[in-house]
Each structure stands twice: as C-alpha cells, then as structure tokens.
A and B are shown apart, each in its own frame.
Chain A
C-alpha cells in the first residue's frame, strides 16, 4: 500500500510524531486477565500497570515516565508522590525485576469488542496493537499512522484506491470513511484476491506456436508481442496475454475463412520465408534479430513457467501425501497400542477365569532349557487365579544340580540335553499379589497339584501335590508382587527323563497346575 504525502503533510506528520514522543506514556492501559487485581504492579500516578517501572529510595514504585514528569513538574518540592520523601535523580532506580514480572502478565487485546480475542503478555501487546489495529487511528491526537493518498486538489483519496475505492474526501474525513466503509473495503479486497487467484491458477499454454501464428504475431506489431516470464506481475499480465492470444485466434479464424488461393499462396510463401529465417537463425545462434527466434525463446519462458507451476503442484501433492502418511502412522501406532492393551486384557481374563486349573505350555523347550542351563536356571509362568476373585499364583520352573560339588556338574553344560542326568527339574508354586487380596482369607488353605503332562500316555504324567501349611511363609499374603518363598519340589525328575520319556512333543512341554481352596 503506497502512502503519498504532500510536503505539508510530511511536516505535520513529523510534528505529530515528535509531539507524541514527548507525551509521557503512562502504564499499560489494557484489561488484564483476571482483572487488574495486583496493586503491587500499579503505578500510583497513572493507576495502570507500570511501564518501565522504577523504585525510589523510599521504596515506592512508579512508571519511569510518570515519576520523571512528577519530579520535573514540581520544581520547588520534589517529594515522593506517596510519602513526600525528598527525591532527586540519584534516589530513583530502574526496577527490572518488577518490569519482567509485569511484562509477563497476560491481558486481553483492547480490540476485543471488534472481534480480536488475542490474549498476550504485556510485552507483546503494544506490538500486536500497532501491527493489527492501527486502522482504528485517531487523527486528532497524533497517533495517526496511516494516511490517505493526497490528490492534487488537496482532497484525500481513500487508501483502498488500488483496490477500487473511488471515494475522495477532506483529509479529516479519512477516519470516518475508514470506519464506515469497512465492509465495502473488505469486499474490494476479497474481489482483488479472487482476481489474483484466478490469474495464478490459469493453466499455461503448452502448444508450440506454429509458423502461421508466428507470422500473424509479427504482422500485428505490438499486440502480438510475447511476454517474458519476468513480466508476470499483475492484472496487466493477464490482460496482455489475453490480448495476444485473441489476436492469434483471430488470425486463425481469418485464415480458415479466407479460402482465397492467392492469399493462401501468399501466406505460404511468407511462411516458408520465415521458417527459413528461423532455421537460419537457429543455425547461427544469433540473437540480434527479434522475430521468430525471440518468439521461440519467449516460448521457452512460458515452458519454464509451466514447469515451475508443475513443480509447485507436485510439491503440494507431495506435502499432502506426507501429511496423510503421518496421520496414518499415528493411527497405526495407536491401533498397535490398543491391540497390546487388548492382548494384556485377554491374558488377564484367561488368568482370572481359569478357575484354578492352569496349563503352562513352554514352546521351543530345547532352546529354553539350553538358555536356562547356561544362565538363570529359572523360568516363571504367567500369573493365574484360583477362581475369579481368588488367589493369584504362578509356577516357577527351576533347573537344579543336586550335587554342585561334583566335578561332573560343572561340565553338565556340555552334555546334550537328552543325556543330562545331573540337571534336575524343580517346580515351585509362588503366591502373587492379586487384585482381590484384601477380600480373601490368608493364609491360603487348600491343595495345589502340579503335573508334568505326558502328551501320549496320561498315566506316565508326573504328579506332585502340596497341602497348605498355615505356618509356612509361602502361603502368607504376599507383600511384594511375588512372594519370594515358594512351595514345591526341588527335584521332580531329571532333565534326561523329561526328554527320553517323551514328555517333550513338538519341542514343547506342558505343566498343569490345579489349585483348590478347601
């Protein structure tokens, strides 16, 4: 938006600005969030939140401008405005701590009624108002920032002239005009925006100009001039392009209608003349002459523009796709997390509704055993409940070596699993903290039966059962997630027996636990 000023206008404006800078700025005249409740931040002189606060030696705070005007004003008695303590320059200090606190306070934009719902800190507010709301200017008190365009006759033209507002008025009517014609100006802006958009979205012309067009263009002087890519600037570009294409179209029509052979022959003759010119110039690469070659280079310009637009479109496409992918990824991750939750829930349900009979299947038993023999020697089953609201238990599967002092035990790791006679299977039941521990009696009273299932012959299954002993720590209410003391058998059988007697089928082993309260 251009602002044209006459010389007089410039001087008055500069006087305005200079006088406005001498008018002391009081505090922040904004409506603060939650009301201006904190009286600590209020300047006693202007009663607003302090701008550039200072503190006096007697401990009172003021806006920098307010106190300097007070001390400058009262040349005879420069007492503190609050308690009358004598003040001079060296008794006043900037209070940057309070300044920061005040600048961090949030306030509503003073143009709330006009529809601006911005809520900003005081440090940002001045800039915001200046940036977004300077149109509500008041030409009478010197805060004028926007000017109309001063016409030669001294009248002012509206600053929206470029958009099509034709109003002309006295300079002092500008503000009134701006206030009353908001809708009109908005409409003009919208229309301009639409026009601009239309120009930018018009698909570029792709066809290569044929010699006949070239001929016409050359013949029709200025109107047939091609436009360079750089010329694309405004409405004017569109208009000129339109004109040139109109002339081309007209020429085509003209040629198709005039079936006169002489004319055709004549045009063909000049056509061949020009095409020979074209080839000749292409061969010499001379840029000196502006005719067919310049047309061709201009065509390159248009092609370039077309390519450029395609790139923009593709980039846009790419961005949209990227956004879509991001969205899908986030959806996928939420689905995955939901699925894992559901799985957990299912496991929990299984554990809860097994009614005291739990089958623990260890798949890949050979690998599990090898791993256990080398490292932890312990594997713990998932928890399960004796009944829906009962005790929570789990099974611990141990590999033990009954004679650790024996030298063969240390080498047991090297023995194949099927032959390992020194490593034995231990099975223990542990009580776990369940959801309903508060509602059930402790210690647990009942019977727990542990079975190593033989898949082919149930009679060969190894059974062990445990009756609860009230005094044993293993049956007490667990105080950590899993009671460290378990109850069971350190040596049910040897690992060799497990493998050689066919307990392992399809590389998996089943344990069955039956827990019943009595």
Chain B
C-alpha cells in the first residue's frame, strides 16, 4: 500500500477520535487489523428518522490509491433505505463514486452517510423495491424502516404485528432474515409473501 494512503488514514484516525461527533457518539471508526486498510465504521441513526436509536455498522476498505480514489464503504447492519441495498448493504452515494474529492475524509464520509439516512433520494435508488415503497406507501416504509432498525440495529421501537407475521413464516420453515426481507418487500402482506415462497 502506498505510503501516502497509510499516512492519511493514520492522521484521519486521530482526527476522528478527537472530533466532537465521536464525543456525541454519532460516528466511530475502529481498526480491524494492523494494515490500516480494513476499518469498521459506525454511525448512529439520525434523530426524527425511522433510524433513530439504531447503530449502523459499516465496512470500510481503503484502496491503495486513497485519497485519490474513494474508500469502499458498505453497510454491515441490515437497513431499509431506498439508496442502500437491503440485501448486500451496498450504498448509492455520489461522493463514494464520481463525486469523490481528495479533500474528503472518513469523517466526512460517515457524516454524509448519516445525512443520507435523514434525506433519502428515491429518484436515484440502489434498492428499487424500497424506493417504490418509499414513494407509494410512505407510512409502511416508515414502519418497515423502524422495524428493521429495531431488529438489526438495536433500535427501541418494537412492532408486535410485524413480529407475528415473521414468526408465522419462520414457523413454515423460512429463514428469519429472508422472512423479514420478503414481508417488507410485499408491504407486510402475509399472503403475498407466503405465495412468494410456496408458489
């Protein structure tokens, strides 16, 4: 790995550790190994969003050409969001692609992701199913996102109705994560979801 990338990450690491966002537990970066290329990020769900109260873990891979190319970032925690794949956690965010600038840092990336959680861009979706739900049935989107936050990100809000539906599918032998995903995609219509599995 080029020296400049390591130097940069080391310095950024210090910067993030000292920053006020860390003090407020809003963002966090951890090292995974000694190579400074594999990092683990964590962002708190922003207030007044369905993600409030959740903690979302991120995988950050720093390329050798950093900071001239963006870091590769993906959600490790499952999340229901139009711009984030509910299956892989891949993120659709311009600054992680063609709008990357060398002056950006891991800190600004994490803060941008936090901003993305509070302001989704359904017209530039990563997950088409989620984006459609976001546009057509905002209330279901909201409760689904809240439910996912509760199940996967340690959010505070429980939804016993959704829980029951999931348990029904699990009882039928469906994997729990698959059950949640399928029900969410079908707007929590148990019949449609069951059809999806057994047709």
Residues of chain A whose beta carbon lies under 8 Å from any beta carbon of chain B? 23-24, 26, 29, 44-48, 60, 66, 69-70, 73-74, 76-77, 79-82, 84, 141
A47 CB contacts on chain B under 8 angstroms? 7-8, 11-12, 15, 105
The verdict on A82 contacting B7 (CB below 8 Å), with A45-B67, A47-B12, A73-B65 known, is no
B104 CB contacts on chain A under 8 angstroms? 81
A141 CB contacts on chain B under 8 angstroms? 3
The verdict on A81 contacting B2 (CB below 8 Å), with A69-B68, A70-B68, A73-B69 known, is no
Q: B101 at interface (Cβ–Cβ under 8 A)?
A: yes
B98 touches A77 (CB 8 A): yes
A77 CB contacts on chain B under 8 angstroms? 98-99
B102 touches A48 (CB 8 A): no
The answer for the CA separation of A201 and B145 in the assembled complex, in Å, is 88
A26 touches B4 (CB 8 A): yes
The answer for the CA separation of A80 and B8 in the assembled complex, in Å, is 18
Which among B2, B11, B101, B105 is the interface contact of A48 at CB below 8 angstroms?
B11
B68 CB contacts on chain A under 8 angstroms? 45, 69-70, 73-74
B103 touches A46 (CB 8 A): no
Give A23 Cβ to nearest chain B Cβ, in Å.
7
Give B36 Cβ to nearest chain A Cβ, in Å.
14
A81 touches B7 (CB 8 A): no
In the complex, which of the residues B3, B4, B8 has the most CB atoms of chain A within 10 Å of its own CB atom?
Answer: B4
A26 CB contacts on chain B under 8 angstroms? 3-4, 7-8
The answer for the CA separation of A47 and B15 in the assembled complex, in Å, is 10
A46 touches B7 (CB 8 A): yes
Q: Which size class do B's interface residues fall under?
A: 10 to 19
The answer for the CA separation of A385 and B184 in the assembled complex, in Å, is 106
**Chain B 75-127 residues near chain A, CB threshold 8 A:** 98-99, 101-105
The answer for the CA separation of A185 and B103 in the assembled complex, in Å, is 46
A82 touches B4 (CB 8 A): no
A82 touches B8 (CB 8 A): no
B8 touches A81 (CB 8 A): no
* Additional A-B contacts beyond A46-B4, A70-B102 (14; CB < 8 A): A23-B3, A23-B4, A24-B4, A26-B8, A44-B103, A46-B7, A47-B8, A47-B15, A47-B105, A66-B102, A73-B65, A77-B98, A77-B99, A84-B99
The answer for the CA separation of A47 and B65 in the assembled complex, in Å, is 15
Is the contact region of chain A dominated by helix, strand, or loop, or is it mixed? loop
Residues of chain B whose beta carbon lies under 8 Å from any beta carbon of chain A? 2-4, 7-8, 11-12, 15, 65, 67-69, 98-99, 101-105
Closest to A27 in B: B7
B98 CB contacts on chain A under 8 angstroms? 76-77
The answer for the CA separation of A73 and B67 in the assembled complex, in Å, is 11
Is the contact region of chain B dominated by helix, strand, or loop, or is it mixed? loop
A81 touches B101 (CB 8 A): yes
A45 touches B103 (CB 8 A): yes
A82 touches B3 (CB 8 A): no
B4 touches A79 (CB 8 A): no
A48 CB contacts on chain B under 8 angstroms? 7, 11
Closest to A82 in B: B103
The answer for the CA separation of A69 and B8 in the assembled complex, in Å, is 15
Give B16 Cβ to nearest chain A Cβ, in Å.
12
B103 touches A29 (CB 8 A): no
Closest to A84 in B: B101
Q: Please name 23 pairs of A and B residues whose Cβ atoms are closer than 8 Å in the assembled complex, sorted by A.
A: A23-B4, A26-B8, A44-B102, A44-B103, A45-B8, A45-B67, A45-B68, A45-B103, A46-B4, A46-B8, A47-B11, A47-B12, A47-B15, A48-B7, A48-B11, A66-B4, A69-B68, A70-B102, A73-B69, A79-B101, A81-B102, A82-B103, A141-B3
The answer for the CA separation of A76 and B3 in the assembled complex, in Å, is 25
Give A31 Cβ to nearest chain B Cβ, in Å.
12
B7 touches A23 (CB 8 A): no
Which among A23, A29, A82 is the interface contact of B101 at CB below 8 angstroms?
A82
The answer for the CA separation of A451 and B99 in the assembled complex, in Å, is 103
The answer for the CA separation of A24 and B7 in the assembled complex, in Å, is 13
A45 CB contacts on chain B under 8 angstroms? 8, 67-68, 102-103
B11 touches A81 (CB 8 A): no
The answer for the CA separation of A163 and B68 in the assembled complex, in Å, is 48
B2 CB contacts on chain A under 8 angstroms? 23
Give A336 Cβ to nearest chain B Cβ, in Å.
59
In the complex, which of the residues B11, B69, B101 has the most CB atoms of chain A within 10 Å of its own CB atom?
Answer: B101
The verdict on A81 contacting B103 (CB below 8 Å), with A29-B7, A47-B8, A76-B98 known, is yes
In the complex, which of the residues A47, A74, A79, A80 has the most CB atoms of chain B within 10 Å of its own CB atom?
Answer: A47
Give A192 Cβ to nearest chain B Cβ, in Å.
37
B101 CB contacts on chain A under 8 angstroms? 79-82, 84
Give B3 Cβ to nearest chain A Cβ, in Å.
7
The answer for the CA separation of A404 and B122 in the assembled complex, in Å, is 115
Closest to B65 in A: A73
A74 CB contacts on chain B under 8 angstroms? 68
B105 CB contacts on chain A under 8 angstroms? 47
Give B62 Cβ to nearest chain A Cβ, in Å.
14
The answer for the CA separation of A351 and B38 in the assembled complex, in Å, is 85
Closest to A25 in B: B4
A69 CB contacts on chain B under 8 angstroms? 68
B4 CB contacts on chain A under 8 angstroms? 23-24, 26, 46, 66
B8 CB contacts on chain A under 8 angstroms? 26, 45-47
Give A395 Cβ to nearest chain B Cβ, in Å.
75
B15 CB contacts on chain A under 8 angstroms? 47
In the complex, which of the residues A46, A60, A141 has the most CB atoms of chain B within 10 Å of its own CB atom?
Answer: A46
Question: Which 9 A-B residue pairs are closest in the complex by CB-CB distance?
Answer: A44-B103, A81-B102, A81-B103, A81-B101, A47-B11, A45-B102, A73-B68, A82-B103, A26-B4
Closest to A47 in B: B11
Give B110 Cβ to nearest chain A Cβ, in Å.
16
The answer for the CA separation of A69 and B69 in the assembled complex, in Å, is 11
The answer for the CA separation of A44 and B102 in the assembled complex, in Å, is 7
Give B75 Cβ to nearest chain A Cβ, in Å.
26
Closest to B2 in A: A23
